[in-house]
C-alpha cells in the first residue's frame, strides 16, 4: 500500500479519549488517508473531477467499505452511490446522510470525503455496539458536486430530485472539448441513465450532511463543530456600465464619461451594502471585463459580476434590490448608463428550527457548546433541501482554508462531529 501520509498526520495529535461508543478515530483517519491517495497531485492535493475515473475509483473504494459494513449497496443512473441499512421498520422513509468525493483541481482532502466517512463511521459504530436503527439509514455519495469540470456542479444531487435541465446539460463541454454525454460514458453511464435517476422524495425523511466549514467562525469560537442555520442561495448579476471610449491624451477630464471610474465607485460601495441587510448577507465582485481595454483609451464599457447571497430569500432579494439601486445611482452620478442581466437566482434553504434544537440538545450532551452559523457555500444539502427537510453540521477548518492542499480539519474535531451526528440520528430514530 502507498504511504498513507494523511492518516499519519491526522493521528499525530489525536486524543483517543474520543474513541467511545464504537467510533474509531484511527479508522476515520485511515479512510480519509486512503481516499487522499486517489488523484493525489504533486502538491499533495486532490484532483478528482466529477465523472472522472479518479472519482469512480474513490466511489468504488467506499462501496467496498459499505459492503463490508453489511450495507446493501447500489449505484443509480447518475453515478450516485448509496449504502442502505434497512432498520427495524423497513417501510418507513429513510434518513439519508453523506456528501461527495469529487474535488476541484489540486484541492483538499476533507471537502466532501469527511461527510461520506462520517456517515459510514456511524454505521461502523452501530455494528460494533450492536445497535440497529428503527428507521432505514442510507449513506449517499453524490456525483460531481464541485462542478470543476463543467463550471457548474451538484449534478448528482440534481439528478435524484429531478432538477436541472437535461437539454442544458447536453450543451456542456469540458476543458478538453468533451461533452457531458461523452464524460458520462467514460464511467459507464449515459444521458438516459442520468435522466432516469430521479427518486421518489417521499422515501426520504431527512438528509443530513457533515461538511467542513470552509471559514473561520468555529476557529474563532474554539469549537470543533457547529450547527448550520441555513444555506445561502446565490443570485448572480452581470452589471454593465456604458460610457464613451476616447483618447486618453486628448479628452479633458471634465468631458469624460469613463465607465471604469463609475464601475470602481460601484465596487467600492458594494462591499458596504450587506451589513445594511443582515449579518449573514454577502456580496462579492470577482470578475470584470473592460472594453476596449487599451492603455491609452478611456474605458467605454465595463461588465462585472456580483455574487449576492443570504440564508433567507427575503433578505437576499432585499440585497439584490439595494445593489441594483446603487448601480443606477452611481451611473447617474458619473453620467454613464447601466444595464443588468440576472444570470442565476437560487432559493436559499433554511434549516428547520426543530432539527436545530435537536442538534443543540445533542451537542450539549456531548459537552460541546452549541454554536449556530450560516453556510455561504452551496452543498448537495441545498439541492435536496428544495424538496425535503435537511440538517447540516460544520466541522472546524484550520484558518478557513479550503479548495487547497493546505485544507485541514483536526481529527479530534472530525471525530467529535461524528459523535454529534451519530447521537442526532439515534434521537431521530426515537421519534415517531
* pLDDT(270) > 60: yes
DSSP 45: -
Q: pLDDT tens across 82-139, in order?
A: 999 999 999 999 999 999 999 999 999 999 999 999 999 999 999 999 999 999 999 9
Query: What domains are defined for the chain?
Result: 5-231+348-430 (3.40.630.10), 233-345 (3.30.70.360)
Phi first, then psi, for residue 367 (nearest 5°) are: 60, 35
| Eight-class DSSP state of 18 | G
Neighbour tally for 340: CB within 10 Å? 16
pLDDT at 2 over 60: no
Q: What is the pLDDT of residues 381-408, one digit of tens each?
A: 999 999 999 999 999 999 999 999 999 9
DSSP 8-state secondary structure symbol assigned to residue 135:
S
d(CA 28, CA 31): 5
**pLDDT tens digits for 274-322?**
999 999 999 999 999 999 999 999 999 999 999 999 999 999 999 999 9
- The CA distance from 259 to 290, in Å, is 9
Confidence band, pLDDT 50/70/90 cuts, at residue 151: confident
* Structural contact between residues 304 and 265, judged by C-beta atoms closer than 8 angstroms: no
Q: What is the structure's pLDDT at 1?
A: 43
Amino acid at each position: 500500500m502507498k504511504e498513507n501520509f494523511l492518516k499519519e498526520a491526522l493521528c499525530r495529535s489525536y486524543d483517543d479519549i474520543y474513541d467511545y461508543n464504537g467510533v474509531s478515530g484511527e479508522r476515520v483517519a485511515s479512510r480519509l488517508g486512503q481516499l487522499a491517495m486517489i488523484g493525489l497531485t504533486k502538491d499533495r492535493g486532490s484532483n478528482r473531477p466529477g465523472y472522472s475515473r479518479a472519482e469512480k475509483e474513490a466511489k468504488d473504494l467506499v462501496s467496498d467499505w459499505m459492503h463490508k459494513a453489511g450495507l446493501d449497496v447500489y449505484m443509480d443512473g447518475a453515478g450516485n452511490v448509496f449504502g442502505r441499512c434497512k432498520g427495524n421498520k423497513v417501510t418507513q422513509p429513510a434518513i439519508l446522510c453523506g456528501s461527495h468525493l469529487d474535488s476541484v483541481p489540486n484541492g483538499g482532502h476533507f471537502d466532501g470525503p469527511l461527510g461520506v466517512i462520517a456517515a459510514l463511521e456511524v454505521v461502523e459504530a452501530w455494528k460494533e455496539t450492536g445497535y440497529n436503527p428503527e428507521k432505514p439509514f442510507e449513506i449517499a455519495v453524490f456525483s460531481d458536486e464541485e462542478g470543476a469540470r463543467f463550471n457548474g456542479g451538484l449534478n448528482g444531487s440534481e439528478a435524484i430530485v429531478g432538477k436541472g435541465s437535461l437539454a442544458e446539460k447536453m450543451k456542456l463541454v469540458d476543458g478538453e472539448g468533451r461533452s457531458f454525454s461523452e464524460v458520462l460514458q467514460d464511467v459507464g453511464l449515459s444521458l438516459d441513465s442520468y435522466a432516469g435517476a430521479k427518486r421518489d422524495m417521499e422515501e426520504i425523511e431527512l438528509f443530513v450532511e457533515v461538511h467542513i466549514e470552509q471559514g473561520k467562525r468555529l476557529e474563532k469560537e474554539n469549537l470543533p463543530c457547529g450547527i448550520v442555520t441555513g444555506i445561502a442561495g446565490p443570485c448572480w448579476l452581470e452589471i454593465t456600465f456604458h460610457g464613451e471610449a476616447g483618447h486618453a491624451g486628448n479628452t479633458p477630464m471634465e468631458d469624460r464619461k469613463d465607465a471604469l471610474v463609475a464601475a470602481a465607485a460601484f465596487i467600492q460601495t458594494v462591499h458596504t451594502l450587506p451589513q445594511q441587510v443582515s449579518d449573514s448577507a454577502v456580496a462579492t465582485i470577482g470578475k470584470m471585463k473592460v472594453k476596449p481595454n487599451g492603455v491609452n483609451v478611456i474605458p467605454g464599457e465595463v461588465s462585472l459580476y456580483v455574487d449576492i447571497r443570504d440564508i433567507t430569500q427575503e433578505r437576499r432579494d432585499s440585497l439584490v434590490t439595494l445593489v441594483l439601486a446603487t448601480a443606477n445611482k452611481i451611473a447617474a452620478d458619473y453620467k454613464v448608463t447601466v444595464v443588468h442581466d440576472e444570470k442565476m437566482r437560487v432559493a436559499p434553504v433554511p434549516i428547520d428550527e426543530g432539527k436545530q434544537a435537536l442538534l443543540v440538545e445533542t451537542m450539549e450532551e456531548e459537552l460541546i457548546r452549541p454554536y449556530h452559523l450560516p453556510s455561504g457555500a452551496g452543498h448537495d444539502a441545498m439541492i435536496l433541501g428544495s424538496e425535503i427537510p435537511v440538517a447540516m453540521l460544520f466541522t472546524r477548518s484550520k484558518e478557513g482554508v479550503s479548495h487547497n492542499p493546505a485544507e485541514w480539519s483536526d481529527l479530534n474535531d472530525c471525530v467529535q462531529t461524528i459523535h454529534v451526528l451519530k447521537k442526532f440520528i439515534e434521537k431521530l430514530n426515537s421519534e415517531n
